[in-house]
Chain A
Amino acid sequence: MRLVLALLTMMLLALPAFAVDPSEMLKDPALEARAREIGQTLRCVVCQNQSIDDSAAEVARDMRRAVRERLSAGDSDGQVYDFMVARYGDYVLLKPPFKLGTLVLWLGAPLLLLVAASAIMLTALRRRATAPLPPLSDEERERLRSLLGRDGSAVAPSEARRSRGASPGSDKVSPLGPSALGRDDA
């Protein structure tokens, strides 16, 4: 058990391995830190999804050296990125720039979310704001009155059952259902 714990602790303490060789590091720690920061955002051109700092490829090593040479020569971070993009294109950037060609990449997902959200909202709103029903026609009014009793006052279903076929039209199937109209005596 203790051994397992010790092994687990060691695994947690393990740091990601960088391919950066001590011999290629710059003496100035500030410059080296900048080189590391840049190196982790530049894509190795032969290994797809590794940064040049993570890659042991020959070309990645050359690119790390080029980054350090540019920084030592006094280039800004932006100038180093420009140097690499001028040679390898936007491919070399792990974070693609925002421009016309990458518009779909950057805006596609938020746009899709917006469209989906507004579609859901629209249907919800439409469901709530259903158009008011048209007023009853004379015929419907007449039928309703006969269903409700002569004086127009409401007849409870239990009463309707008691008034033994008194109301005309009780033989018709009402929208209220047969039991409400005393179908038991028909």
Chain B
Amino acid sequence: MSRRLLFLLPLATLALMAGFFAWSLMAGRDPASIGSVMVGRPAPRLDVRALRDGDKPITDAMLRTGKPTIVNFFASWCTPCLAEHPLFTRLAQRDGAVIIGIAWKNKPEEARAWLAKLGDPFLYAGQDFDGRTGIDWGLSGVPETYLIDGNGIVRFHFRGPITEKDVRDTILPFLKGGKP
């Protein structure tokens, strides 16, 4: 009896592996996903030059106003940023969201021209031309978006463009309740 079980062992191993592979395919698990270690921690340091002429520098104080804040890293050369831009415009105009935009690895004049053409949804806009602030924020590219609560704690981190579904399921509830 036990010998027969032993012969079944390779078959059982195969079944186990097939099960794991099937689950990997079906569950939508993304092995390339970096995840984020920022969630649940105080927002990293923010101290960058303003993108728009005459504005004050963008600082940490803007993340600790008691109001939930959205921080969006973007660039004029980034196509997914173009795709998500109308959602930020609507969030700012219709829902009164406080959005801080940071132009990452983008010439300031090009970022300004991009916003002039598409509309500027940002209450504050900063520039991170050399990507140093990006590293501090654990950025892997643009666009990336952080939801920060009134106490300056990161509550959500989107890698890649936000979608209509993200707005409906995560961002709007976060703006209303302070939690996603």
CA distance A123 to B37 in the complex (A): 48
Assembled-state Cα–Cα distance A62/B139 (Å): 10
Interface SS of A by simple majority: helix
Q: Which of A31-39, A84-92, A138-146, A166-174 contacts B (4 or more CB under 8 A)?
A: A84-92
A63-105 residues at the B interface, CB under 8 angstroms: 63, 66, 85-89, 91
Contact of A86 among B3, B37, B141 (CB under 8 A): B37
A interface bracket (residues with beta carbon within 8 Å of B): 10 to 19
Stretch of B47-55, B85-93, B127-135, B145-153 contacting A (4+ beta carbons < 8 Å): B127-135
User: How many residues in B have their beta carbons less than 8 Å from beta carbons of A?
Assistant: 23
Interface string of B25-36 (1 = CB under 8 A from A): 000000010111
Check A89–B135 contact: CB distance below 8 A.
no
Q: Is the interface of B mostly helix, strand, loop or mixed?
A: loop
Give A22 Cβ to nearest chain B Cβ, in Å: 19
Residues of A with C-beta under 8 A to B130: 62
Instruction: Check B136 against A87 for contact (C-beta < 8 Å).
Output: yes
> Are A63 and B135 in touch, CB under 8 angstroms?
yes
- The answer on a CB contact under 8 Å between B34 and A87 is no
User: 0/1 per residue, B1-18, Cβ < 8 Å to A?
Assistant: 011001001000000000
Q: Is B66 an interface residue (CB 8 A)?
A: no
- Residue of B2, B37, B134 near A59 (CB, 8 A) is B134
Q: Let me know if A59 and B35 touch, CB within 8 A.
A: no
Nearest CB of A to B41, in Å: 9
Q: Does B105 contact A (CB under 8 A)?
A: yes
Residues from chain A with a CB closer than 8 A to the CB of B37 are 85-89
CB neighbors of A among B111-166 (8 A): 130-132, 134-141
Which residues of chain A are near B3, meaning CB under 8 Å? 123
Q: Does A107 contact B (CB under 8 A)?
A: no
